[in-house]
């Protein structure tokens, strides 16, 4: 993670150039080489000294909890949380990590259909402005059919005593992309710069899929705290859509190897009531008076 100087921030956001950084979580989704990918499905959770890993198509969830930290993941929803108190900002004293890699297939679409995936990224945290070390990371991605694509959001900073002066770190960032293979003109990630507070809903449009595509989908959430910090982070895959019905050949789904399905649907068009309200707002908008001289 790159560390950038922070300027024009409230004094409570003082950051340190001696930031201790957690190494980025490895996120490697192997390309599909055949129809059977069951060995790739893995759900894992690590929190404090507790951990759980489950593999194969019967895997439903993994969870861990210890020392004030929790981690839980299913195939589409991943959450980590934790709290530290009484330590020092100079080092990370507790971590939580949850991740999933699942075998999936996509059916019911035309070749090259632009599939738009939408997630909810949510976060909250509180920290002592004189004693905190904060690291967060959220990742999602696909592989199969000759391509690998993942995007990663991460921030990190420390906040120490006043006498140590100004600090350095990253309080907000966009998403970094890792990709290999062939990408079409519809490949597009929409991810705003985010400070990790509240909820955002990034979208990703890819055209690499065709009817019967098989591959892997994965996601990661992890955090590390030191000093006096509490927080939680989650990533949830919410929907998959296409621009119109011409890209569908019938009922369309992304199907996980345990049978769980996410329907691929057409982007809903605005309802007549919504269009009427939009038009009315334009009619009712105050007009500017123009002086005639």
C-alpha 290/C-alpha 293 separation (Å) is: 10
Kind and range of the H or E run holding 272: helix 272-284
The string of DSSP letters for 87-146 reads: S-TTS--EEEEEEEEEEEEEEEE-TT--EEEEEEEEEEEEEEEEEEEEEEEEEEEEEETT
Is-contact 50 30, C-beta < 8 A?
no
pLDDT value at position 129? 87
Mean pLDDT of 263-292: 54
pLDDT digits 0-9 by tens, 119-138: 999 999 999 988 999 999 99
Least confidently predicted of 18-27, 88-97, 188-197, 247-256: 18-27
Kindly tell me the burial class for residue 58, based on how many C-beta atoms sit within 10 Å of its own C-beta (0-12, 13-18, 19 or more).
exposed
Who contacts 40 (Cβ-Cβ below 8 Å, separation ≥6)?
29, 30, 101, 102, 103, 216
- Angle subtended at Cα 43 by Cα 230 and Cα 220, rounded to the nearest 5 degrees: 45
Q: What is the pLDDT of residue 167?
A: 65
| Selection from 168, 198, 193, 199 nearest residue 9 by Cα | 168
- How far is residue 69's CA from residue 72's CA, in Å, rounded to a whole number? 11
Point out the least confidently predicted range of 22-31, 159-168, 173-182: 22-31
174 pLDDT above the threshold of 50: yes
Q: What is the mean pLDDT of the chain?
A: 81
Cβ neighbour number for residue 212 with a 10 Å cutoff: 13
CA–CA distance, 48 with 97 (Å, rounded to integer): 9
Look at residues 88, 106, 42, 72 and name the one whose alpha carbon lies nearest to residue 225. 88
The pLDDT score that the predictor gives to residue 270 is: 58
The larger pLDDT score, comparing residue 287 to residue 105, is at: 105
pLDDT given at position 205: 95
If we measure between CA atoms, which residue out of 174, 161, 164, 119 comes closest to residue 4? 174
Q: Are 46 and 74 in contact (CB under 8 A)?
A: no
Tokens representing residue 248 in the block? 């569908």
């Amino acid at each position: 993670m790159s560390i950038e100087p922070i300027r024009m921030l409230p004094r409570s956001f003082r950051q340190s150039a001696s930031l201790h950084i957690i190494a980025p979580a490895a996120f490697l989704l192997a390309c599909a080489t055949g129809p059977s990918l069951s060995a790739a499905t893995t759900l894992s959770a690590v929190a404090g000294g507790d951990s759980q890993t489950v593999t194969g198509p019967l895997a439903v969830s993994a969870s861990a909890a210890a020392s004030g930290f929790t981690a839980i993941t299913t195939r589409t929803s991943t959450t980590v949380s934790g709290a530290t108190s009484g330590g020092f900002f100079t080092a990370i004293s507790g971590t939580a990590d949850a991740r999933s890699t699942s075998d999936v297939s996509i059916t019911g679409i035309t070749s090259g259909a632009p599939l738009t995936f939408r997630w909810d990224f949510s976060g909250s945290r509180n920290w002592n402005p004189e004693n905190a070390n904060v690291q967060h990371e959220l990742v999602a991605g696909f592989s199969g059919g000759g391509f690998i694509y993942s995007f990663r959001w991460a921030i990190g900073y420390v906040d120490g005593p006043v006498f140590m002066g100004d600090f350095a770190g990253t309080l907000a960032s966009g998403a970094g992309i890792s990709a290999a293979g062939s990408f079409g003109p519809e490949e597009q990630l929409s991810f705003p710069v985010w400070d990790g507070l509240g909820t955002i809903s990034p979208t990703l449009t890819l055209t690499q899929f065709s009817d019967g595509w098989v591959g892997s989908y994965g996601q990661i959430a992890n955090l590390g705290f030191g000093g006096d910090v509490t927080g939680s982070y989650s990533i949830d895959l919410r929907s998959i859509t296409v621009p119109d019905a011409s890209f569908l050949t019938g009922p369309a789904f992304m199907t996980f190897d345990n049978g769980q399905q996410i329907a691929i649907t057409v982007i809903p068009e605005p309802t007549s009531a919504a269009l009427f309200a939009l038009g009315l707002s334009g009619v009712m908008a105050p007009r500017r008076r123009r002086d005639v001289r």
